[in-house]
Structure formats: C-alpha cells, structure tokens
Structure 1
Amino acid sequence: MNFTDLSVGDSARVLSYHGLTDSYRKKLMSMGLIPGTCFNLERVAPLGDPVEINVRGFRLSLRRMEAAGLQVERL
C-alpha cells in the first residue's frame, strides 16, 4: 500500500521506499522513517499538501508527493 492511500487518523508501518532519490531516502531515514517504524497520520493541509505525521514522539511535516514514495502497511 502506498502512503497516499492513508486517511487522517490511520496508523501505519514503513515497509520500503519506492521511486525516491538516494539523498531523499537518506533524509527520511535520518528523520526516523526507517523500515519497520510505525507512525500516525495526524493532519492534512486544506489543499492536501503538506501532511503531518507523528513518528517516534515528534511531529513531522512532509510534502505529499515525496511521502508518496513510502510503501506502508496499515495497522
């Protein structure tokens, strides 16, 4: 399942990355989004971009287009 299939309030686990550059993948990993990490989709901006997730006790905002590179499993 792709990140874009999630709705506000959903919990998910990162499975893998798809279609992201190495540098952006490393950036996500440095922010705590490594495979196996669980997060909650907290908010979506009125126009759909950016999205806010709660991961490892902090809130992180991501561009929806970049977050779409995350393959996730809904919990």
Structure 2
Amino acid sequence: MGLSIETMKPGDSARVTGLVAGDRGYRQRLLAMGLTPGAVFEVRRKAPLGDPIEISVRNFTLTLRKSEAAILELEAV
C-alpha cells in the first residue's frame, strides 16, 4: 500500500484496491467510469504542474484532478 496517484509517472500502472470513504456521489461517479476494485490503469500524461492526470482504464482515457483521484486506494502492478 502507500501508492498514490500523485507519485506515479507516465507509463506507471496500478490496480485499484478500493475507495476511501468520502463524497458518496463522487465515489459512485468513479465507479461508473470503470475505476472499480481490481481495475488496472496506466498513467498516460500529467500536466506540467501535476494536475490533472490522464489515465487509461478499460480501453478509454480518463482525466482526473489529483484531489479527485486521492480517494483511490492503489497497489503497484
């Protein structure tokens, strides 16, 4: 554990192990976008200041803010 999306670099992959308790509506949106436990994603690009982050998950590209992605619990792949 201890992996956060902030520390990941383009080309790094991770598996979602869960979601931290937080805004229920936003958690449901992340789940609807395919970031369910067990989903593997790859960091595609990061903005120059690190926010937002573009990831590839389940054959589509998703852009998230660091604060939004912070509720993801991750493990390295």
TM-score relative to the length of structure 1 = 0.91
User: Which among 6, 24, 31 is matched to residue 29 of structure 1?
Assistant: 31
Alignment gaps of 5+ in structure 2: none
- Give 1:65 deviation, angstroms: 1.1
Partner of 2:16: 14
TM-score relative to the length of structure 2 = 0.89
Give the RMSD, CA atoms, in angstroms: 1.1
- Matches of 1:50 and 1:20 in 2, distance apart? 20
Aligned pairs, how many?
Answer: 75
Moved over 6 A (4+): none
Partner of 1:55: 57
Matched, 1:67 2:57: no
Counterpart contact for 1:41–1:52, Cα < 8 Å: yes
Alignment gaps of 5+ in structure 1: none
- Matches of 1:3 and 1:46 in 2, distance apart? 15
| Identity percentage of aligned residues | 47
